[in-house]
A and B are shown apart, each in its own frame.
Chain A
Amino acid sequence: MSVLTGRDDHLRRRRFVNRVMELLAWLAAALAVAILGIVIFSVAKKGLSQLNLDLFTKPLQLYGTGPQGLANAFVGSLIIVGIATAMALPVGILIAIYVNEYAHGAVRNSVRLTLDVLAGVPAIVIGFFVFELIVVGHQQSGYAAGFALAVLMLPLVSRSTMEVLALVPDSLREAALGVGAPRWRTTLGVVLPQTIGGVLTGAVLAVARVAGETAPLLFTSSLVASGMQYNPAKPLLTVPLAIYELTDSDNPSDYARAWAGALVLILFILFVSLTARWLATRSRRKIQRAGR
């Protein structure tokens, strides 16, 4: 009988430990939700007060009086991220094509390793690098900032494109070759279109990532004019940099403007991430269907 009781006690203890662990896991998840909730709530609450038309129509002017907004920051961000995407997307896709369709063995591994190393370099080091490469001796510019962001986007775009390219079954390639299509035609006309969804997903996620990057912009696009500026050959104000500079202020309405900028930035990134997720599910379904 004592043996049975002993086993019962032991079981009860094991079950207790199990309950405790489950509780801790629930708590951890609750903590994550709480933190996110607190951050988003803070941003929303403090940013909402400044979320008016002025925010989108008037440029920022530190130490300035009168109505202000972040119009030049929004425009600058769009232009610079646009330039970055235009630079990173074609190059990233080409690299992915090379790795997946042409390279093998050591070459393939070294390119993949290079991309992984590039992905791990801190953004501030990349910012400094671009500064030394193209800003020193010349001026800051939106192009330099775009290039810095493109360097950040490149490994992300490449990697996701590689993953989707690898998912395209060889039967498709062989079928195309079977009807006499040259290899380049096969790659561009048959394989790549299958992956557009995945490629766009990767691109969109990369955009979401760099839209909020501040460090590279410090070195390449921080000496900005106080009015509206559309010329990428000159430094352009961007939303993350505006937020960063507004924190160095003694003026509470500057803080409010920073929160508003943060709110718009988060909403943009959320929207972009959701789009990416939708594209991803869509493309996954397409490829599954194509494979049959």
Chain B
Amino acid sequence: MTSLDVSPDAARRPFSGRRMHLGDLILQGLAGLAALGSLVLVGLIAWKVIQGSRLALSTFGLPFIWHVAWDPVHNQFGAGSFLFGTVVTSVAALVIATPIAIGIALFLSELAPRGIRGPVTALVETLAAIPSVVIGLWGLLVLAPVLRDDVDPALHSALGFIPLFGKASYGSNVFTAIVVLTIMILPIIASISRELYLGVPPELKEGAIALGTTRWEMIRGVVFPYTRGGVAAAMILGYGRAIGEAIAVALVIGSFTGISANIFKPGNTLAAWIAQNYAGLPSALALSSLIYFALILLVFSILVNLLAQFIVRRSARAQGLTR
């Protein structure tokens, strides 16, 4: 998670113009080296990923990104269906998780009685701490059978006229992956939003109530606009998490390469496919294509990160550097 640091850059400089000790040199040197090391590390990651995907980049170029194929027999590879799966699952998870997360955050900041506030907050953070492999395990062995036998057929018979809810017979499918991802990003958005809501100056809230608004109107009119940037950043962070999730999705999505409107069919994502093929691939081009996936994920995650930072900075500026 990125720090949503809205405090002003503290430029404390009480140390200017002092005599340098050897110890000072060593500490500053080591610390500087460590900091430089982190820059080098990120550079190395980018370099290795680009280097590994070079073969696929030169063979397929940019059209690889939307080409729908994964055919090692005929050496045809493309990220199309995987990118589709990544986008569908993460966007759907975001859309479902956000209102629930905001509801939880509002509950914990505005509505909960004193006694419940602490334990429920702890519970939400515990949900965030559950490892993805455990959620995946639960998703595969507990959730998927229930969805396959009860929920999916019910949704299909009720809403089957929409192609989204087509025939349902697979337990491991896109819908299961969406539910799993929703559960994973829910606590992230909820805890960040909760902190943001708690940070709204009480005077603003009390002022609105004094004018005769209901609690909901106050939330809508004061809390939401005030925290708009931060909550948007939280959503983007949750989205970033969903994009990069490999293990939990690999366990429940059914690893099928192809584009379908039916969410009850198995699908695939960029990250999950990398996890499925970590052991090896039959050809160098296939391996390079898989690394091309990693490149797409890397670029995606960096963009998402920068976007979240930008939104936070802009909203902080708009509020005149609060807290």
A and B touch in the complex (CB under 8 A): yes
A residues touching B (Cβ–Cβ < 8 Å)? 14-15, 17-18, 21-22, 24-29, 31-33, 35-36, 38-39, 42-43, 46, 91, 94-95, 97-99, 101-105, 107-111, 113-129, 132-133, 151, 154, 158-159, 163, 166, 170, 173-174, 177, 182-185, 187-188, 208-209, 211-215, 218-219, 222, 240, 243-244, 247, 255, 258-259, 262, 265-266, 269-270, 273
B309 at the interface (CB under 8 A from A): yes
Residue of A whose beta carbon sits closest to that of B273: A124
- Whether A18 contacts B217 by the Cβ 8 Å rule is yes
Is B58's CB within 8 Å of the partner chain A?
no
Say which residue of B23, B124, B245, B297 sits within 8 Å of A184 (CB atoms). B23
Most buried by A among B28, B49, B240, B304: B28
In the complex the two chains form, is A214's CB within 8 Å of B305's CB?
no
Among B35, B101, B186, B302, chain A packs the most CB atoms within 10 A around the CB of: B35
Which B residues touch A108, using CB under 8 A? 9
Set A125, A163, A273: member contacting B297, Cβ < 8 A: A125
B261 at the interface (CB under 8 A from A): no
Q: Given A18-B217, A95-B38, A110-B39, A117–B302 Cβ distance below 8 Å?
A: yes
Contacts of A14 in B (CB 8 A): 214, 217
* Known interface pairs A117-B42, A124-B294, A209-B129; 11 further A-B residue pairs with C-beta atoms within 8 A, sorted by A's residue number: A28-B100, A39-B134, A95-B35, A98-B31, A122-B301, A128-B278, A132-B51, A184-B24, A185-B23, A214-B132, A247-B141
- A32:B104 contact, CB within 8 angstroms: yes
Interfacial chain B residues near A107, Cβ < 8 Å: 35
Q: How many A-B residue pairs have CB under 8 A?
A: 273
B9, B240, B275: residue with the most chain A Cβ atoms closer than 10 Å = B275
Q: Report how far A149 CA is from B126 CA in the complex, Å.
A: 21
Could you list 25 examples of A-B contacts with CB < 8 Å? Answer: A21-B216, A95-B31, A95-B35, A95-B37, A98-B31, A110-B39, A111-B39, A118-B38, A118-B41, A118-B42, A122-B298, A124-B297, A125-B297, A127-B278, A129-B45, A154-B41, A177-B18, A182-B21, A184-B26, A208-B129, A214-B131, A243-B133, A244-B136, A244-B251, A269-B129
Asked if residues B138 and A170 are in contact (CB atoms below 8 Å), the reply is: no
Task: Knowing A123-B246, A218-B278, say if A266 contacts B27 (CB, 8 Å).
Answer: no
B62 within 8 A of A: no
* Interface status of B93 (Cβ within 8 A of chain A): no
Task: State the Cβ distance, A223 to closest chain B Cβ, in Å.
Answer: 9
Tally of B interface residues using CB under 8 Å: 97
A209 proximity list for chain B (CB < 8 A): 129
Closest to A259 in B: B137
8 nearest A-B pairs in the assembled complex, by CB-CB distance: A212-B131, A122-B244, A28-B103, A98-B31, A94-B34, A18-B214, A184-B23, A120-B305
Q: Within the complex, which residue of B104, B129, B274 is in contact with A270, where a contact is CB–CB below 8 Å?
A: B129
* B interface SS class: helix
Q: Which residue of B lies closest to A219 (CB)?
A: B278
Contacts of B132 in A (CB 8 A): 212-214
B40 → chain A, closest Cβ, in Å?
9
B153 to chain A, nearest CB (A): 21
User: Does the CB pair B246–A215 fall under 8 Å?
Assistant: yes
Q: Which residues of the partner chain B approach A187 to less than 8 Å between Cβ atoms?
A: 27
- Choice from B33, B44, B127 contacting A36 with Cβ under 8 Å: B127
A184 touches B137 (CB 8 A): no
Q: How far is the CA of A214 from the CA of B133 in the complex (A)?
A: 7
Q: Are B244 and A128 in contact (CB under 8 A)?
A: no
Q: Determine whether B106 belongs to the interface, using a CB cutoff of 8 Å to chain A.
A: yes
In whole angstroms, how far apart are the Cα atoms of A265 and B133 in the complex? 10
Contact A159 B216 (CB under 8 A): no
A238 to chain B, nearest CB (A): 10
Chain A min CB distance to B21 (Å): 4
User: How far, in angstroms, from A111 to B44 measured CA to CA in the complex?
Assistant: 15
> 1/0 per residue B103-123: CB within 8 Å of A?
110111011100000001001
* A18 shortest CB reach to chain B, Å: 4
B323 in contact (CB, < 8 A): no
B202 beta carbon closer than 8 Å to chain A: no
Residue B244 contacts which of A39, A123, A151 (CB distance < 8 angstroms)?
Answer: A123
By the criterion CB–CB under 8 Å, are A212 and B134 in contact? yes
Chain B residue with minimal CB distance to A20?
Answer: B216
Q: Which residues of B contact A114 (CB under 8 A)?
A: 38-39, 42
**Is there an interface contact between A244 and B126, defined as CB atoms closer than 8 Å?**
no
- Complex CA gap A110/B38 in Å reads 10
Contact: B104 with A29, CB < 8 Å? yes
Minimum CB–CB distance from B80 to chain A (whole Å) comes to: 20
How long is the Cα–Cα vector from A122 to B34 in the complex, in angstroms? 22
Residues from chain A with Cβ under 8 Å of B275 in the complex: 124, 215, 218
